[in-house]
Structure 1
């Protein structure tokens, strides 16, 4: 596995461990974000659990490539959904930027995994 692939996996895992854990813990900022897009705290916690699971999958993917690829695909889908939810909530495109960028990073990681 190449150094860029490892770095990408670790960076993505760190991002999603942090954000996912904050959602699972329902910290005030995450509760406000959930309310802003019309989600319950329980639903947001579920999304956080998926993000944490994906982060673990990315790290496990350093040993088992198929797990890393599955985690990357899951994150791409989650981030695409996040963009849609933000746009449906009337947020400006700039508010969707983080989800779009992180989704693109997950896609880049998937390409790196596929290229060996």
Structure 2
């Protein structure tokens, strides 16, 4: 169980870091939808920072569990907000994308509590 927790946490952190990097480097596949969802451009650095902090928190959480739990909860809230933003923009076909990122975070939290 402990090994599964480490693997899932590292995957979750890697996905969150990738997502943060995509915002920081203005990847086309991220910037265009954010514009279409009407997310203000001034928010983008803060959104990327939140994801990067969550990724770092998950990794630190392997050594300090309270930080990992806080980071996991923060990322779950972040990606829940992303699902709501996509739904409000009526891009229902894009809803699975934030779910792909939040699934391993939830798995990490569940496995962390079970370990």
- Under a length normalisation based on structure 2, what TM-score does the superposition of the two structures give? 0.90
RMSD of aligned residue pairs (Cα, Å): 1.5
Gaps spanning 5+ residues in structure 2: where?
Answer: none
**Aligned residue runs from structure 1 range 97-108, under 5 A:** 97-108=96-107
**Separation (CA, whole Å) in 2 of partners of 1:63 and 1:55:** 14
CA distance in 2, matches of 1:42, 1:73: 24
SS at match of 1:62: coil
Q: Which has the higher contact order (CA 8 A, sep 6+)?
A: 2
Runs of 4+ with deviation above 6 angstroms: none
Q: CA deviation at 1:5?
A: 0.5
Give the whole-Å Cα distance in 2 for the aligned partners of 1:102 and 1:16: 7
Aligned length: 115
Distance in 2 between residues matched to 1:24 and 1:68, nearest whole Å: 23
Structure 1 stretches lacking a partner, 5+ long: none
